[in-house]
Structure 1
Amino acid sequence: MYTLKKSLGQHFLKDEQICRNIVTALQERPITRLLEVGPGGGALTKYLLQLPDITFKAVELDAEKVTYLENTFPAIRGKLIHKSFLDIDPPFDEPFTLVGNFPYNISTQILFKVLDWDPMVESVIGMFQKEVAQRVAAGPGSKIYGVTSVLIQAFYKVDYLFDVPPGAFNPPPKVMSGVIRLTPNGQPPAMRSRKDFRLLVKTAFNQRRKTLRNAVRGIFPPAVLEDDFFNKRAEQLSVDDFAALTFKMNG
């Protein structure tokens, strides 16, 4: 068998029904190329390998799991990338779908990597710590609406699909988990540049209790900051609001 490594944030799915639910959600959109992140013990992998007419790859950092997977599922040989997901280039030359029970210790970094790869990523079905999943899906006005919510929702529609209890994993995590789907939202809002958008969103939420005027003072001309709009707080702004503001930032 294999050992579990806490250092890699490993909590392996063991609930077959949850695995089937993820695969069902995955099949609601056409898939031609699929990358699984962190297959671990292969609970989800064994279903993914059976999907017809797709090109499948998986990325796994843990050498022990790579050996286990190749011995247990011979069909996966030649399809495994033995690296950290955070260190790889897009594994396909054309758009692909991403799926996985994402390691909780790098789940937010995985989302930002998806943004770096946009528009190559045509959909994501991912398992996250529930708190993270809810944050990604949160809308303006919510206490958990923040940097991740805005940066992801500018480019992807987020659907919270279902909860996953701790007992579905080995070992059980101390928290609930949640599965979300990201699908490209078609036309991202107009913004001066992604770099400016990211800077603005991160700066605004860095001091979320302050008014926007005080939080982003260093990146706007003083005359622009006099507008009453800047009396709002970051959590009150929509994704479109942030995008529109980038055109007023310092040059």
Structure 2
Amino acid sequence: MSKTHLGHRARKRFGQNFLHDQNIIEQIVDVINPQPQQNLVEIGPGLAALTEPVAERCQFLRVIEIDRDLADRLESHPFLQHQLEVIRGDAMEIDFRQFRDSDKPLRVFGNLPYNISTPLIFHLLEYTSAIQDMHFMLQKEVVDRLAAGPGSKTYGRISVSVQQACRVTPVLSVPAGAFNPPPKVESSVVRLEPYTENPTPVKDRAQLHALCLKAFNQRRKTIRNNLKGLVDEQQLEQLDIDPGARPETLSVADYCRISDWLTDRK
């Protein structure tokens, strides 16, 4: 198969890689487990590899597509056009609260372009109160970072920020050959479930994200050095944090405590 799939050439600027392995597609749809009448939104439907089987199971869904050609194709699709509402635009600029329905919590899924996956996940964290769950196909190393625990090499800013808000479950590995063109990396599907009863509540999520950015800026330095000018050594000790610890050894709860202290001080 060439890079042109159904007459559409994958576009580098949108980070497009199209899924074509039917077996993998079925496994992903089983993991999402769409049901009739559910409130589903797909980000970046592309050539509808996931859209078709999901629509078959849930009857109707919304899709967000930035590529005009693909949006046109979906709107004139012989059997999908009556099952879709196509929203043309950039998911990074969309307020996901608009899709909220009091009876039907929002379920979001997509094969995310690797070049925007991290900022898009941070964007979606702003709307977790409206979202029941999210299923994303991502670069395997991004999923590893999302799921990493304290003390591991891959634990960092995104691990803390996402785990504070959601339960993170890697659910499926996807080989590069399942895509066209095949990416140079392995992929994984992850499930993110925003907490209804949060084990690590935080007063201001934006403050937490800013704190993590500073804390993990230089991983080899101690937390005392990385947070210099923000929190002093004595204050860290009062918060029950070892000033000499490395940033990747602190737990999500530790970062939430520091963040709440900063919020209160404001």
Residues in 2 aligned to 1:219 and 1:112: alpha-carbon distance in whole angstroms:
23
- Per-residue CA distance 1:147-191 (angstroms, 9 max, x = gap): 111100001011111111111001000111111001123333233
Runs of 5+ consecutive residues of structure 2 not aligned to the other structure: 1-6
Go from structure 1 to structure 2 and tell me whether the alpha carbon gap of 1:190 and 1:183 turns closer, same or farther (over 3 Å shift). closer
Verify: 1:11 aligned to 2:17, yes or no: yes
- Per-residue CA distance 1:86-120 (angstroms, 9 max, x = gap): 12222413230111111111001110111011111
Q: CA deviation at 1:29?
A: 8.5
Runs of 5+ consecutive residues of structure 1 not aligned to the other structure: none
> Which structure 2 residues correspond to residues 84-99 of structure 1 after superposition, within 5 A?
84-90=90-96, 91-94=98-101, 95-99=105-109
Corresponding residue number in structure 2 for 1:185: 195
1:181 is paired with a residue whose SS is strand
Corresponding residue number in structure 2 for 1:165: 175
Residues in 2 aligned to 1:206 and 1:243: alpha-carbon distance in whole angstroms:
17
Q: Confirm or deny: 8 A CA contact 2:34 2:57 kept in the other structure.
A: no
Residues in 2 aligned to 1:222 and 1:237: alpha-carbon distance in whole angstroms:
15
Corresponding residue number in structure 2 for 1:41: 47
Verify: 1:212 aligned to 2:227, yes or no: no
Residues in 1 aligned to 2:35 and 2:57: alpha-carbon distance in whole angstroms:
13
Q: Confirm or deny: 8 A CA contact 2:20 2:180 kept in the other structure.
A: yes
Go from structure 1 to structure 2 and tell me whether the alpha carbon gap of 1:36 and 1:190 turns closer, same or farther (over 3 Å shift). closer
Residues in 1 aligned to 2:36 and 2:258: alpha-carbon distance in whole angstroms:
36
Range with greater deviation from structure 2 (58-67 or 217-226): 217-226
Range with greater deviation from structure 2 (166-175 or 239-248): 239-248
Go from structure 1 to structure 2 and tell me whether the alpha carbon gap of 1:98 and 1:182 turns closer, same or farther (over 3 Å shift). same
Q: Confirm or deny: 8 A CA contact 2:224 2:232 kept in the other structure.
A: no
- Per-residue CA distance 1:195-232 (angstroms, 9 max, x = gap): 32222211111122111000011211453146661111
Corresponding residue number in structure 1 for 2:4: none
1:43 is paired with a residue whose SS is coil
| TM-score, normalised via structure 2 length | 0.87
- Per-residue CA distance 1:62-109 (angstroms, 9 max, x = gap): 011112223334433560001111122224132301111111110011
Corresponding residue number in structure 2 for 1:232: 245
Corresponding residue number in structure 2 for 1:156: 166
Q: Confirm or deny: 8 A CA contact 1:220 1:248 kept in the other structure.
A: no
Go from structure 1 to structure 2 and tell me whether the alpha carbon gap of 1:28 and 1:82 turns closer, same or farther (over 3 Å shift). closer
- Per-residue CA distance 1:106-139 (angstroms, 9 max, x = gap): 0011101110111111101100011111111111
Range with greater deviation from structure 2 (148-157 or 215-224): 215-224
Verify: 1:64 aligned to 2:64, yes or no: no
- Counting aligned pairs with the same residue, the percent is 37
- Per-residue CA distance 1:227-248 (angstroms, 9 max, x = gap): 6611111100111111112233
The aligned amino acid for 1:21 is Q
Residues in 1 aligned to 2:234 and 2:130: alpha-carbon distance in whole angstroms:
40
Verify: 1:200 aligned to 2:207, yes or no: no
Corresponding residue number in structure 1 for 2:31: 25
Q: Confirm or deny: 8 A CA contact 1:38 1:60 kept in the other structure.
A: yes
Range with greater deviation from structure 2 (3-12 or 28-37): 28-37
Residues in 2 aligned to 1:31 and 1:198: alpha-carbon distance in whole angstroms:
35
Range with greater deviation from structure 2 (72-81 or 92-101): 72-81
The aligned amino acid for 2:179 is F
Go from structure 1 to structure 2 and tell me whether the alpha carbon gap of 1:30 and 1:64 turns closer, same or farther (over 3 Å shift). closer
Residues in 1 aligned to 2:55 and 2:140: alpha-carbon distance in whole angstroms:
27
Q: Confirm or deny: 8 A CA contact 2:173 2:188 kept in the other structure.
A: yes
Range with greater deviation from structure 2 (226-235 or 132-141): 226-235
| TM-score, normalised via structure 1 length | 0.92
